Amino acid sequence: MQQFSPIAYQFSVLTFEFSTYQFNLALIAFITNSPLGLIGLYGILIALFTCNSKAPIRFNLYQILFSVIYLGLQSIITKSLKSSNGTVPFLLALIGTILALNLLGLFSYILPLTSSIIICLYLSLTIFIANLLRGLFQYKAAFPLLFTPVGVPLYLLPLIIYIELISYFIKGFSLGIRLFANISAGHLLLLIISFFLNTIFLIFQVHGGALTLITFLSLAIIYTLILILELFVSMVQAYIFFVLTIAYMAELE
């Protein structure tokens, strides 16, 4: 019942042994569990797309469900962004990746990558910097005016633009920290409850007793309910990240 800690094993060094030789992955490429998890996720996605690329089209309940979800997300993008043709695949891939990372983290012995502050900030700040460059190439010299409120005196323009630019990047930090905090809180709660479950189970094995058994079953039910709640939280957080990304991109249009 005990799960891995979402923060204790993110940067553990892996040692592999082949016959009588040992080598340390960290000494070769500075590889830890987090990038290995990302590599594994991308490998799974590539394998799925490769296997299904020549599969015959069959309309079933799952395909209809995913089509409805796809069309719903696409409508949100097209209604919010003016130039949405090039951003639809990116934003759909973004919500799919975050959802996959969140759901994979609920399984035991799988590192929850979205509980890493580095991964979350990397995603959010990369998106914000790319959006900033997109606006810069699109508006060129008029780009600073996007950060200027209407009716600001001319002598206050440099200060206002500087403040608005800082507040824009603060939104990028808050976007990543929000995802990290919500996912980490759920995993830490599951870790604490699983630790108590493991302890009570060991006590029951040694001493027995009806009270110990009732306590164990109660905690097991609570753990299951929280796990179901975390399943919905994983979906909601991916959707919130998706919607806020669209909103922040719309600010620079």
d(CA 73, CA 77): 6
Summarize the confidence of residues 222-237 as an average pLDDT. 88
Pick the closest to residue 186 from 220, 222, 234 (CA basis).
234
Quote the pLDDT of residue 29. 40
Which DSSP category does 227 fall into?
A: H
Summarize the confidence of residues 164-169 as an average pLDDT. 84
**Kind and range of the H or E element at 217?**
helix 210-250
What is the rounded average pLDDT for all residues in the chain? 76
Encode pLDDT of 8-64 as tens digits: 544 454 554 544 444 444 434 444 455 555 666 666 666 666 655 555 556 677 778
Encode pLDDT of 183-224 as tens digits: 888 888 888 887 877 777 777 777 766 777 777 788 778 888
Tell me the pLDDT band of 116, cut-offs 50, 70 and 90: confident
d(CA 198, CA 166): 47
Tell me the pLDDT band of 113, cut-offs 50, 70 and 90: confident
| Higher pLDDT among residues 142 and 6, named by residue | 142
Q: Are 75 and 243 in contact (CB under 8 A)?
A: no
- Give the least confident one: 81-95, 123-137, 171-185: 81-95
Quote the pLDDT of residue 4. 47
| Higher pLDDT among residues 23 and 70, named by residue | 70
Quote the pLDDT of residue 157. 80
Q: Are 230 and 62 in contact (CB under 8 A)?
A: no
3-class secondary structure, 46: helix
- The span from the first CA to the last CA of the chain, in angstroms, equals 49
Sign, CA dihedral 62-76-174-34, equals: positive
CA dihedral 168, 169, 171, 174 (to 10 degrees): -170
- Give the least confident one: 36-45, 102-111, 155-164: 36-45
Indicate whether 237 pLDDT > 50: yes
Indicate whether 242 pLDDT > 90: yes
Q: What pTM did the predictor assign?
A: 0.72
Contacts of 156 (CB under 8 A, 6+ apart): none
| Higher pLDDT among residues 22 and 164, named by residue | 164
Indicate whether 80 pLDDT > 80: yes
Residue 219 main-chain phi, psi, to 5 deg? -65, -35
Q: What separation in angstroms does the CA of 144 have from each of 4, 135, 249?
A: 47, 10, 15
CB atoms closer than 10 angstroms to residue 37: 20
Quote the pLDDT of residue 48. 61
Quote the pLDDT of residue 6. 45
- Give the least confident one: 1-15, 64-78, 227-241: 1-15
